[in-house]
Amino acid sequence: MLHRDLSDALRALTAAYELTADRERAIYWYRNVPLPEYRHRTAEELVAEGRVDVVLSYLASIEAGSSG
């Protein structure tokens, strides 16, 4: 279970990094930025809840041009 949790966190952080091209900014976003669309949970909280798919979809929508 821990392996899956770490794998999901790494997937989300990698996607955030690919979007920002800045490691520190990606980590900050993952841990601290509340996502209004998901009851103001952070990406880290969503991943901990097993919802990495939501985080990856959110990042994909931003990459596609959504305001986030």
CB-hemisphere CA count at 13 Å for 6? 3
pTM for the whole structure: 0.87
State the pLDDT at residue 47.
97
What is the C-alpha separation between 68 and 65, in angstroms, rounded? 8
Instruction: Using a pLDDT cut of 90, give the percent of the chain over it.
Output: 84
Of residues 55 and 65, more confidently modeled = 55
User: One-letter amino acid identity for 51?
Assistant: R
State the pLDDT at residue 18.
96
Helix 2-20 to helix 23-32 angle, to the nearest 10 degrees?
Answer: 120
Phi, psi of 47, rounded to the nearest 5 degrees: -65, -40
Instruction: Give 3-29 pLDDT, tens digit per residue.
Output: 778 999 999 999 999 999 999 999 999
